[in-house]
Amino acid sequence: MARLTINGKANEVNVDPNTPLLWAIREQVGLTGTKYGCGIAMCGACTVHIDGKAVRSCVMPVSAAVGKQVTTIEGLAAGGALHKVQKAWVEYEVPQCGYCQAGIIMAVAALLKDKPKPTDADIDASITNICRCGTFQQVREAIHAAAKA
């Protein structure tokens, strides 16, 4: 058993402490916006925030999230208002199939918190998520738009 705070709510999860956080989020808590892609920290589909920092939850044990604030895509919109990254995603029609997008949005939200006006080089260095639909150009444009919002 472990107690996890996810999107501001306490949850008891009945898993081994070494279980990847992704599976506790999806299968125990039922928040399925966070996706499984590779399972080896390469694609970013599983990105969530822990204490505001982007992490790849497929390789993060549940034990590492105990006592911390976990935020998933479901918790990014505060008080019913979309986050500025989500707004830019809608405006720029970024998603294609959508599978990778929750992870990218979470990675971008963390980037903008650290670097409110990221350069293309900053984006290349920190947004390493993989999109099999190839939305990279739209992602870049939407990040710059969100940075201006």
Residue 4 or 139: the one with the smaller Cβ distance to ligand FES is 139
Maximum pairwise Cα distance, the chain: 43
Residue 44 near residue 107, CB atoms below 8 Å:
yes
Q: Tell me if residue 138 falls in helix, strand or coil.
A: helix
User: What is the 3-class SS of 99-111, one letter each residue?
Assistant: CCHHHHHHHHHHH
Question: Residue 61 is encoded by which pair of tokens?
Answer: 């044990």
Position among 15, 25, 46, 73 found at the interface with ligand FES (CB under 6 A): 46
Is there binding between residue 100 and ligand FES (CB under 6 A)?
yes
The whole-angstrom separation of Cα 36 and Cα 95 is 17
User: Measured from the CB of residue 76, what is the shortest distance to ligand FES in angstroms?
Assistant: 17
Binding span for ligand FES by CB under 6 A among 32-40, 72-80, 83-91, 111-119: 32-40
Out of 78, 97, 125, 149, the only residue in the binding site for ligand FES (CB under 6 A) is 97
Nearest approach, Cβ of residue 79 and ligand FES (Å): 27
Q: Which is nearer to ligand FES, 8 or 73 (CB)?
A: 73
